């Protein structure tokens, strides 16, 4: 890739999701085959050609794998997602989003 060409990630969070998947696989939480199956279920539910791959699908597949292994239960993931959205809404434009900014979080 040369200067000026778009990179593989449209935003920093996409690179972070990619790195997290690689790190968790390297830590032995799942195999590449298990990852491919989970991602395929998210991208193509029921085996159809539903939607193209994106990093939102990577997050959904990762959450599925972590929930299936009892590492991050779905209700805990939903609570964290909600806290993150509240924190994002409460964060001034241009500032990093931090969970401490969640108005309903521990204070």
Residues 59-72 pLDDT 10s: 899 999 999 999 98
DSSP 45: G
Tell me the mean pLDDT in the region 23-34.
95
* Whole-number Å distance between alpha carbons of 1 and 7: 7
pLDDT at residue 14, as a whole number? 86
- Do the Cβ atoms of 21 and 59 come closer than 8 Å? no
3-state secondary structure of 80: helix
pLDDT above 70 covers a percentage of the chain that reads 87
Asked whether residue 105 carries a pLDDT value surpassing 60, the answer given is: yes
Q: For the ranges 9-23, 38-52, 57-71, 83-97, which has the lowest average pLDDT?
A: 38-52
């Amino acid at each position: 890739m040369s200067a000026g060409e778009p990179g593989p990630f449209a935003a920093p969070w996409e690179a972070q999701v990619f790195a997290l998947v690689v790190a968790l696989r390297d830590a032995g939480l799942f195999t590449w085959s298990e990852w491919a199956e989970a991602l395929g279920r998210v991208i193509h539910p029921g085996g159809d050609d539903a939607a193209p791959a994106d990093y939102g699908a990577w997050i959904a597949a990762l959450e599925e794998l972590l929930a299936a292994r009892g590492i991050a239960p779905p209700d805990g993931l939903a609570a964290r997602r909600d806290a993150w959205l509240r924190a994002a809404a409460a964060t001034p434009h241009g500032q990093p989003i931090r969970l401490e900014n969640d108005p309903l979080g521990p204070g």
